[in-house]
Amino acid sequence: MKTRKLRDLEVSAIGYGSMGLSMGYGAAPDKAEALQLLRYAYDQGCTFFDTAERYAMGDNEALVGEALQDLRSNVVIATKFLIDKNDIGDYSRDNLFLHIKSRLEASLRRLRTDHVELYYQHRVNKDIPVEDVAWVMGALIKEGKILGWGQSQATPDEIRRAHAITPLTAVQSEYSMMERTFEAEVIPTCEALNIGFVPFSPLANGFLSGKINADTTFKGIDARRVITRFDKENIKANQPLLDLLQLFAQEKNATPAQISLAWMLHKKDFIVPIPGSRRRDRIHENFGAAAVTLTQQEFETIETALATVQIFGNRTDEDLAKLRTLTPE
């Protein structure tokens, strides 16, 4: 697979989001299958693997660590931390450093490694100065425990303030044909500061695969039960987008998912999406998007068509929080 740069970090043009192997989309595969899927992603050319401490209470990091242990020198691992100011005790930069370092060291043990290439703040705290977090990241870089750092769902102001203290390697945020909020300011800010941009949910939680319709049901702890774009009326209302994707896919001898990812890759050379899947055929399909090349005219045609399509529903952290209160189905 072709490679791209997130600042100075070289990664495969498409990465692998591993969360779904442990949580978020109903019953997870068993451990043996999950390990095989991670290895299969590597065999397909992926060298960029994304996880987080909060995914299944660390179990996802442990999966990634076990699967990639003997490939460690060939892969780039990104993980994330989520902090609460109340957990730090008497607040100071030094105490913040100690708290985050302890979280990182726990992640490293689960990942079976002595460092990670990319360490994200999973969400930017409103009550902890981004400058303090950036200072901590700089200290961890000096110790060699991380090679670079990033923010998730950050604003342009938060990015610039943090970057001025310790340069950011990447910003990870939701981005797809169905969620383009960050095109207005965040992606241009990343471009201006030479920061990579890593879209999560680049296929809109699978909607853009074209495999979901109004009769599709979601059971158990599946995020799509609370993501409003998967409400039956919204699935029907968003059909024009899928129709457009299918049309372009036929013209390029590709799939709707591959067109969605190819469109994203064409936009900027510092964009590296991280789709996740739990099926070999879908993993193969997603990584195959790296070989689908759009001409500038084809890209502009897609952009023009997308401008005519209204999107119904979205995905918010507030909605996802509702998943904890739902009874299994």
Active site residues: 55
Q: Is residue 253 classed exposed, middle or buried when 0-12, 13-18 and 19+ CB atoms within 10 A define those classes?
A: exposed
Nearest-angstrom CA–CA distance, 118 and 295: 32
Q: For residue 48, what are the β-bridge partners?
A: 76
Q: Where are the alpha helices (DSSP H) in 112-172?
A: 130-143, 156-163
Q: What is the DSSP string of 68-124?
A: HGGGGGG-EEEEEE---GGGTSS--HHHHHHHHHHHHHHHHHHHTSS-BSEEEESS-
Q: What interhelical angle do 156-163 and 130-143 show, nearest 10?
A: 40
* Dihedral angle computed from the Cα positions of residues 216, 219, 222 and 228, in that order, rounded to the nearest 10 degrees: 50
**Closest listed residue to residue 315, CA positions, set 237, 206, 220, 241:** 206
Is the CB of residue 180 less than 8 Å from the CB of residue 17?
A: no
**In the numeric block, which tokens belong to residue 227?**
């993501």
**Closest listed residue to residue 207, CA positions, set 275, 305, 284:** 275
